[in-house]
């Protein structure tokens, strides 16, 4: 299970979310069989989606992060629930690029630097809220930071990291989101900036055995603060046969009838998890009748 915490300074100036998302990203790699660079990209997006989901108030609320860049991996999607559970999908999981000039996995290379990050907040009813921001670096953390600054006018620092083994398994993954709350004092802002600039990369801290609580302590050094919440989160898909039936019905009567004619069984694979749903031509015909 991944570990997610939130903490706030006693004066109410700053809030932070910190996650050790190693298990989430490891599961995503197993499901999607991603190349190392795509594991890093999808893993960072899932890590952000878990923290951003956990910020939501309503039980039915969810957040979709859609990253549509011009890189060879195509578009990325991560869905965060208000529980902090996440699921994700990438168009071309196998794309691999050489390490970048800094010797790191080339996340910006597989994502692309031209395109948009779409953030869709779904409240479980009514119209979802959609915000978008141009991709600034393709490294994802900067793109999330930019989204908060421009779309939500919330000064934010986001850091995300994924470390991948040479055998493609995930060593560790994690991230933090720090936000200034309305009315934050100049003194608090200065101290936070200093703490953020001092902190080591998140994967390095995880390799040293640091926990989310330890990292919150580093981010809030010289502050008094409270841990608001500690929870475990996981890669979780909530697909079901009923949901797949609804998707099939939306295809329309004529196309469903044709599918029933042409193939004895129709297979529908979930985008987010390894589940495959099979429908006999008889069942597809019944759905076609229901689609009228
Ligand atoms: Zn599924």
CA–CA separation, 117 and 146 (whole Å): 10
- Same domain (yes/no): 95, 226: yes
Domain limits for position 130 = 2-233
What are the beta bridge partners of residue 110? Answer: none
| Cα 271 to middle of ligand 1, angstroms | 6
Measured between alpha carbons, how far is 65 from 211 in angstroms, rounded to an integer? 26
Q: What is the mean pLDDT of residues 188-201?
A: 95
Instruction: Let me know whether 145 and 215 are in one domain.
Output: yes
Phi and psi angles of residue 127, each rounded to the nearest 5 degrees, phi first = -75, 130
Six token digits for residue 152? 């939500």
Contact 3/214 with Cβ under 8 angstroms? no
Q: What DSSP designation does 127 have?
A: P
Q: Which of 187, 215, 233 is the last residue of a domain?
A: 233
What torsion do the CA atoms of 26, 31, 33, 35 make, to the nearest 10 degrees? -50
Q: Are residues 6 and 150 in the same domain?
A: yes
- Could you tell me if 229 and 274 lie in one domain? no
Point out the domain boundary residue: 233, 251, 272: 233
pLDDT tens profile 210-220: 999 999 999 99
Same domain? 30 vs 175:
yes
Tell me the pLDDT of the chain averaged across its residues.
94
What average pLDDT does range 61-80 have in this prediction?
96
pLDDT tens column, 90-140: 999 999 999 999 999 999 999 999 999 999 988 777 778 889 999 999 999
Q: Does one domain contain both 265 and 123?
A: no
The number of distinct structural domains making up the chain is 2
What number of other Cβ atoms are within 10 A of residue 251's Cβ? 15
Ligand 1 centroid from CA 87, angstroms: 9
Whether 198 and 285 share a structural domain = no
> How many A from CA of 274 to the centre of ligand 1?
7
The Cα–Cα gap between 57 and 24 comes to 22
Cα–Cα distance measured from residue 130 to residue 272, given in angstroms and rounded to the nearest whole number: 21
Ligand 1 centre distance from Cα of residue 255 (Å):
24
246 and 159 in a common domain: no
pLDDT at 20 over 70: yes
Gap from CA of 270 to ligand 1 centroid (Å)? 5
70 plus 93 within the same structural domain = yes
């Amino acid at each position: 299970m991944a570990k997610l915490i939130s903490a706030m300074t006693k004066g109410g100036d700053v809030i932070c979310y910190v996650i050790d998302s190693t298990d989430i990203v490891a599961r995503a790699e197993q499901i999607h069989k991603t190349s190392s660079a795509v594991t890093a990209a999808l893993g960072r997006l899932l890590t952000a989606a878990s923290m951003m989901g956990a910020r939501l108030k309503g039980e039915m609320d969810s957040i979709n992060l859609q990253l549509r860049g011009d890189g060879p991996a195509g578009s990325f999607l991560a869905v965060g629930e208000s529980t902090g559970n996440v699921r994700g999908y990438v168009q071309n999981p196998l794309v691999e690029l050489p390490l970048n000039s800094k010797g790191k996995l080339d996340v910006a290379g597989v994502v692309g630097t031209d395109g948009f990050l779409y953030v869709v907040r779904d409240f479980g009813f009514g119209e979802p809220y959609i915000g978008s921001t141009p991709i600034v670096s393709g490294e994802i953390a900067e793109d999330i930071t930019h989204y908060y600054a421009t779309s939500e006018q919330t000064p934010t620092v986001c850091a995300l990291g994924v470390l991948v083994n040479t055998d493609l398994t995930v060593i560790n993954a994690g991230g933090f989101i720090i936000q200034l709350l309305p009315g934050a004092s100049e003194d608090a802002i200065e101290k936070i900036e200093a703490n953020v600039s001092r902190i080591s990369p998140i994967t390095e801290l995880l390799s040293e055995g640091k926990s989310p609580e330890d990292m919150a302590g580093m981010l809030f050094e010289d502050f008094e603060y409270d841990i608001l919440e500690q929870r475990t989160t996981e890669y979780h898909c909530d697909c079901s046969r009923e949901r797949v039936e609804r998707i099939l019905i939306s295809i329309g009567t004529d196309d469903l009838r044709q599918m029933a004619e042409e193939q004895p069984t129709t297979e529908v694979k979930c985008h987010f998890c390894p589940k495959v749903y099979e429908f006999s031509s008889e069942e597809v015909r019944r759905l076609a009748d229901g689609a009228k």
